[in-house]
Structure 1
Amino acid sequence: MALTRDDVVDAAVDLLAEVGLEGLSLRRLARKLGVSAPTLYWHVADKRTLLDHVAERLLADQWRSAPPLAPGEDWAAWLRERALSQYRALVTHRDAALVVAGNRPTDDALPAVEATMATLVGAGLGPREAFLTLMSVGHFVIGSAVEYHAERARAAEASPVPHGGHDAAAHPTLAAVATAMGPPDGARHEDVVRHGLDLMIDGLRARLADPAR
């Protein structure tokens, strides 16, 4: 059976999980597929193009779990859920945030990007403001996912410092924060993401309601 681009992308996703972004190369991917490296260039022009397709594959579940805006649905709730879905996808897959951070949409992804932009414009944003909003939310989500993975790597390498382990008398506010937050885990990190998204969306709502716009 002839090799397809989907075969190449699927194998690249599997290899990413095995060796991480640093270990992913076209030569290594070709060996995994049992073909010569030049064969891959029939399907992807270079590694960056491959990573663009890998990024879209990693986020495929996000698009399915956050469907287009339904009639009567609140655009802000829709945007928030899409952002959370993207965050969850990025923390699920190894190095996914680093792959997505540099990607550009392929032709296959443009209809979804168009629909997202159209939703924000339909909410009252101008095209430029809609684009800046989409990029700002995306950068926040990607950065949050990078931080999540960095915290997990740190926890695996260093001796943990328990919450509340500092002098509570000298740092009473920090002690209160430690008590309120509880032990560090993935759920707590998503609370930070939710809070940040709420701040961004509340600010966007206020901007849209400003009669001076």
Structure 2
Amino acid sequence: MKGKETRTLNRGDVLDAAEDLVKRHGPRALTMRGLAAELGTAVTSIYWHVGNRESLLDALVERTLADLGEIRPTGRTPAGRIVSVARALRGLLRDHPHLVALVHERGLTERMFLPAQRALVHEVHEAGLRGARAADAVRAVQVHVVGHVLVERARERAPVQRPGEAELWTAQAAERDGALARALAAPLDAESLFTLSVKALVTGLVGPGS
């Protein structure tokens, strides 16, 4: 970020630097002085481009909402496209944890999820669901994504477990199923587990061939 003083600073530069700071250290680390230092410019220049800190946070929230609105379903069937929306939403939530928290703190969580929900509505309609059944399907997928992300982040932040799964899962603990014990003792592949679970959920909601 240093060296930006060699060219004319613009609003996009300021927002890029602010977003990077929030991603690395959280919203509390975002101060006007710290941002100015990151960009190698004067604090007055930051105010000129984005206003005060609240205005800057508002702009970052709008950016995050725009990013979350860029989900484009892929796949040959409604079920496949629903899974693609779920995977894309999970990726965005994982990539923007501090910014998502900022959106939530500003009471814009429902607006944040609206684009993904609308994409899901279209696909559940394509699968033949209507009314309350369609609404249940949309909400089930959304809650599954959010819940999975929360569990992932909790595991990542948890202290080292002693004993860990490798010590706890023996063949005896797994009812003498050695393959099961080895699988449960291995590190968790969160992405593979998410894909497996969301496919199972969607199949139950709309059917495998929908």
For Structure 1 versus Structure 2, the TM-score category normalised by the shorter chain is 0.5 to 0.7
Q: How many residues align?
A: 194
For residues 78-93 of structure 1, what are the structure 2 equivalents within 5 Å?
Answer: 78-93=81-96
For residues 1-213 of structure 1, what are the structure 2 equivalents within 5 Å?
Answer: 3-4=10-11, 6-7=12-13, 9-24=15-30, 34=43, 35=45, 40=50, 47=57, 50-57=60-67, 59=68, 63=71, 67-68=72-73, 73-95=76-98, 98=101, 103-105=109-111, 114-126=118-130, 129-154=133-158, 157-158=159-160, 161-166=163-168, 168=170, 171-173=173-175, 177-185=180-188, 188-206=189-207
* RMSD of aligned residue pairs (Cα, Å): 4.3
Take 2:192 and 2:38, find their aligned partners in 1: how far apart are those partners?
A: 39
User: Would you say the 8 A contact 1:51–1:99 is kept in 2?
Assistant: yes
Q: CA deviation at 1:23?
A: 3.4
Q: Which amino acid aligns with 2:50?
A: L
The range that moved more, 160-169 or 132-141, is 160-169
Q: CA deviation at 1:95?
A: 3.7
1:79-131 deviations in Å (ceiling 9; x for gaps): 1122112223333455466456663447xx97776454333323222255444
**Aligned partner of residue 109 in structure 2, secondary structure:** coil
Q: CA deviation at 1:144?
A: 1.4
TM-score (norm 1): 0.63
TM-score (norm 2): 0.64
CA 100–42 in structure 1, closer or farther in 2 if over 3 Å, else same: closer
Q: Which amino acid aligns with 1:161?
A: P
Take 1:95 and 1:36, find their aligned partners in 2: how far apart are those partners?
A: 21
Identity of aligned residues (%): 21
User: Would you say the 8 A contact 2:74–2:80 is kept in 1?
Assistant: no
| Unmatched segments (≥5 aa) in structure 1 | none
Q: Which amino acid aligns with 2:167?
A: G
Larger radius of gyration: 2
